[in-house]
Amino acid sequence: MTARAVGATLAAGVAVALSATAAAPAFAQPGAAGGQATVSVLHAVPGLTVDVYAGNDELIPDFKPGTLTDPMKLDAGSYDIKIFKEGEGPDGTPAIEKKVDVPAGADATLVAHLTADGKPTLDAFVNDVSKVPAGKARLTVRHVAAAPAVDVRANGTPLFKGLVNPKEAKGEVAAGTVSADVVLAGTDTVAIGPADLDLGEGTNTVVYAWGSAADKNLALKTQTLTGMHSAPGGVDAGESGQAAAHNERLPLGALSLGAVSFLAAAGVLYRLRTTSR
């Protein structure tokens, strides 16, 4: 598959997933009444760098594999999303251009990644930012790698078993630190790790297994949502979340998401600061 073909596939996925982050009515223009959405994007397609635009305004320049954007506050509305091969925008012909509806109230992560058989795709995951019991943390694991089913282990004990691309598993556990790794399902063959991962109280730590087993570039990426403490020492979360369908219990890692500034001038001028980890 050529780089342009991969770019087109990635672009189509971004457009589809943005419109699917939540079942809510769309708004005709950015800034319309109805609230905001929080959107982050993870680029987990190895070997391809792209530029992402809204209209003629660059949102994510030089977007490299393994990069997770900071969360962005967007007014609910419709956006003209364009994806270019690196350096070809905004005056060139985009690989794809599509109007995208961003629904109010969503807290989502869009993940451009490989399917189990190695084809570029994109999935939208709704992040659970509901309250966590005192002394606990929420852990979410997402399999977005070109790899077979895996088990996720903590301190050598399988906690999530048989996780397949593009599924997730999550649960609430005691806050703390574990040594985590990913093994091929039902075996002791380590695919990723081990790594010492911190699990903070009142957080939802999302761990992504991404890359390609065949190309031997499997890796972990982590994302942490904060502010979900419960009484007696807690604070309210800033966003309401929706739980994913697959639930299990275990602990894992952490990576703090920074806040990102947001400029709305003509209703389309938004820029995401990217953060390489």
Q: How open is the CA angle 128-40-118, to the nearest 5 degrees?
A: 95
pLDDT value of position 110: 81
Identify whether 16 is part of a domain.
yes
Residue 70 lies inside a defined structural domain of this protein: yes
Q: Do 60 and 41 meet the contact criterion of CB atoms below 8 Å apart? A: yes
163 shares a domain with 102: no
Q: Does 110 fall in a domain?
A: yes
Inside any domain, residue 244:
no
Give me the mean pLDDT over the 115-132 stretch: 87
Same-domain check for residues 110 and 134: no
Let me know: does 231 contact 182? Beta carbons within 8 Å. no
Residues whose CB falls within 8 Å of the CB of residue 187, separated by 6 or more in sequence, listed in order: none
The more confident residue out of 55 and 170 is: 170
Mean pLDDT of 117-145: 90
Whether the predicted pLDDT of 145 surpasses 90: yes
- The answer to whether residue 221 sits within a structural domain is yes
Q: Which is more confident, 51 or 237?
A: 51
> Under a CB-based contact definition with an 8 Å cutoff, are residues 6 and 14 in contact?
no
Of 158-162, 229-233, 242-246, the range with the highest mean pLDDT is 158-162
110/159 same-domain check: no
Task: List the domain range (segments joined by +) for residue 49.
Answer: 3-125+258-276
Spatial CA neighbour of 227 closest among 240, 217, 236, 215? 236
CA separation for the pair 208, 140 (Å, rounded): 9
Do 66 and 113 belong to one domain? yes
Share of the chain above pLDDT 70, in %: 67
Among the listed ranges 6-10, 84-88, 218-222, which one has the minimum average pLDDT value? 6-10
Q: Do 147 and 137 share a structural domain?
A: yes
**H helical segments located in 146-256:** none
Does some domain include residue 243? Answer: no
pLDDT (0 to 100) of residue 246: 33
Q: Is residue 169 part of a domain?
A: yes
Max avg pLDDT among 92-106, 200-214, 235-249: 200-214
Q: How many domains does the chain have?
A: 2
Is 50 exceeded by the pLDDT of residue 79?
Answer: yes
* pLDDT band at residue 70 using 50, 70 and 90 as cut-offs: very high
- Give the residue among 255, 261, 259, 262 at the shortest CA–CA distance from 276: 255
pLDDT digits (tens, 9 = 90+) for 23-51: 332 223 344 345 898 889 898 988 888 88
For residue 150, name the pLDDT band (cuts at 50, 70, 90): very high
Question: Is residue 118 a part of any domain in this protein?
Answer: yes
